[in-house]
Structure 1
Amino acid sequence: MKAENIIIQDLDIQPYLQTYQAMHEFTLNRNEQTLDEIWLVEHYPVFTQGKVGKPEHLLCKTDIPIVQTDRGGQITYHAPGQQIMYILFDLKRRKIGIRDIVSYLEKSVIDTLQHYGIIAYAKADAPGVYINNKKICSLGLHIKRGCTLHGLALNIDMDLGPFKNINPCGYAGLQMTQLKEYVSPIDRKKIKQLLTNNFIKQLTN
């Protein structure tokens, strides 16, 4: 399927639960003719727990809400200043495997960071994108009826403090980083364009 048949929506800042429910409604109501969509969004502060997430990875209680989700992976943190890209794709129709789509997501972030001269990489045993052993991007997916929900979260310019209240993605002592530590100033619109273009490029290669 060609890239021009993808709808890209910029949703600005949204409450997490509202977007979570909207993703599920979209997936339940889609059919074989429904175009795939990319949702670009930021969320108000929230911890999200993966479907197999272990409660001990929340190190201490805070005022930040915790939401149980059906994505893969453990606990992570979302807040304004973090660019999220949700992909609502029919993998069956596109004949793409889950491992491939994870690689496409990781590569789209790696290529985006390379635009700024930043060397980033993925790890086979720990999904996401890293710079010098610090994590800059988390990802988690859920597959329903052959279609993807959820996606990636790229740290741009946010308060990283709340990550200290968790074992990010289940890894004790994992340090988080963000783009503003390497680039200034940051054009947020440019980041969105790079991220979506690089992801779509993976699909069409």
Structure 2
Amino acid sequence: MALVAPTSQQAKEPEARWLRVRRLGLVPYEPTWQAMREFTDARQADTPDEIWVLEHPPVYTLGQSGRPEHLLRDEGIPLVRIDRGGQITYHGPGQVVVYLLVDLARRGIKVRELVNLMEQAVIDCLAGFGLSAERQAGAPGVYVGGAKIAALGLRVRNGCSYHGLSLNVDMDLTPFGWINPCGYEGLQTVQLTGYGIRTSVEAAGEALLDHLERLLPPVRPKAPAGN
């Protein structure tokens, strides 16, 4: 997983040393999940946060409290039990996935605030494409007219987050019909191209990344010794 260096403008900003972006392309799910866990376990106080932007081949993921009966039909797509919250969801080509590996305490935010931030970044990103989206109470994610266009799921360990969010851009939505997405029977799943928005996964990922970086609170300075 090659590190993509900040732009020259970013490098001038003090915040740049605390945030790195990895653009990984199409990568298999399980090795990426393991890499997130290893990165989080190995973090030190001065380890920069990272945001990974990528796609996955077809895979279902089932959260810690997920119920396998939400997989309604086995069509040969791998099912991976993982350590995020939430139920079952689908990842596949044409969907941008963003993982946020963030030291929450260092930025002065709590898990619920990070979830709100992620949802707002998606809402703002979609507004930039001319699409009005919203939250739904008690159902994390982002919705357009009651249909889900972006899913969220996090794990926090030792005060640091991993996993993140997915935004449907231009993909085959059929596998969502073989599950109860996020545990909700009959939940409709939509994507950008369904609203006439023609953009690449890469371009959507960059737009979403811009909003995440804008909304993510800066690292708090350390208190002087003895205070």
TM-score range, shorter chain: over 0.9
Equivalent position of 1:198 in the other structure? 211
**Whole-angstrom distance in 1 between the partners of 2:159 and 2:45:** 11
Select 2:183's aligned residue among 154, 162, 170: 170
Matches within 5 A, 1:93-132: 93-132=106-145
Q: What SS does the aligned partner of 2:150 have?
A: strand
Matches within 5 A, 1:26-41: 26-41=39-54
Q: What SS does the aligned partner of 2:216 have?
A: helix
What amino acid does structure 2 have at the position aligned with 1:95? G
Identify the range of structure 1 (125-134 vs 59-68) with the bigger mean alpha-carbon deviation: 59-68
Equivalent position of 1:136 in the other structure? 149
Q: What SS does the aligned partner of 2:176 have?
A: helix
Equivalent position of 1:58 in the other structure? 71
**Whole-angstrom distance in 1 between the partners of 2:74 and 2:162:** 28
TM-score w.r.t. length of structure 2: 0.87
What amino acid does structure 2 have at the position aligned with 1:15? P
Structure with bigger gyration radius: 2
Q: Residue 150 in 1 paired to residue 167 in 2?
A: no
The change in CA–CA distance for 1:3 and 1:109 in structure 2 (over 3 A counts) is farther
Q: Is the 8 A contact 1:3 1:204 kept in 2?
A: no
**Whole-angstrom distance in 2 between the partners of 1:189 and 1:153:** 13
Where in structure 2 are there 5+ consecutive unaligned residues?
Answer: 1-12, 219-227
**Whole-angstrom distance in 2 between the partners of 1:59 and 1:154:** 22
**Whole-angstrom distance in 1 between the partners of 2:142 and 2:102:** 21
Q: Residue 91 in 1 paired to residue 104 in 2?
A: yes
Deviation at 1:182, TM superposition (A): 1.5
Q: What SS does the aligned partner of 1:60 have?
A: coil
**Whole-angstrom distance in 2 between the partners of 1:52 and 1:3:** 36
Q: Is the 8 A contact 2:107 2:217 kept in 1?
A: no
1:5-27 Cα distance to aligned partner (Å, 9 max, x none): 21000000000001000000100
Deviation at 1:202, TM superposition (A): 1.2
**Whole-angstrom distance in 1 between the partners of 2:203 and 2:77:** 30
What amino acid does structure 2 have at the position aligned with 1:78? H
**Whole-angstrom distance in 2 between the partners of 1:185 and 1:123:** 26
What amino acid does structure 2 have at the position aligned with 1:201? R
Q: Is the 8 A contact 1:3 1:203 kept in 2?
A: no
Select 2:196's aligned residue among 158, 183, 198: 183
**Whole-angstrom distance in 2 between the partners of 1:139 and 1:119:** 18
RMSD between aligned residues: 1.4
Select 1:45's aligned residue among 43, 58, 69: 58
Deviation at 1:190, TM superposition (A): 2.6
Where in structure 1 are there 5+ consecutive unaligned residues?
Answer: none
Deviation at 1:183, TM superposition (A): 3.3
Q: Whose relative contact order is higher, 1 or 2, with alpha carbons under 8 Å and at least 6 apart? A: 1
Q: Residue 20 in 1 paired to residue 65 in 2?
A: no
